[in-house]
Amino acid sequence: MKKEIIYDELLEKIPNKYILTIVSGQRARQIGKGDSLLTKCSKKDTDVKKAFREILAGKIGYEIVEDKVGE
């Protein structure tokens, strides 16, 4: 049986809940369109759960890029 996904563990990987929502949503859409999975997942898992499992495994993250407007 797969380990249960715990919200606090997700926040350890991506500490901002808003960024976590954006990253997991984007990845879930990619999975839904047919992108290959980066971790083993159950067939019963939803696309969002699959994205969460990838985040917990450290396969998915984010980077903040500063815009240099006017330079």
In a domain, 39, yes or no: yes
In a domain, 12, yes or no: yes
Q: Which domain holds residue 31?
A: 7-57
In a domain, 66, yes or no: no
Predicted confidence (pLDDT) per residue in 3-56, tens digit: 788 999 999 999 999 999 999 999 999 999 999 999 998 889 999 999 999 999
**pTM for this predicted structure:** 0.83
Nearest-angstrom CA–CA distance, 9 and 15: 9
Domain total in the chain: 1
In a domain, 48, yes or no: yes
3-class SS string, 7-45 = HHHHHHHCCCHHHHHHHHHHHHHHHHCCCCCCCCCCCCC
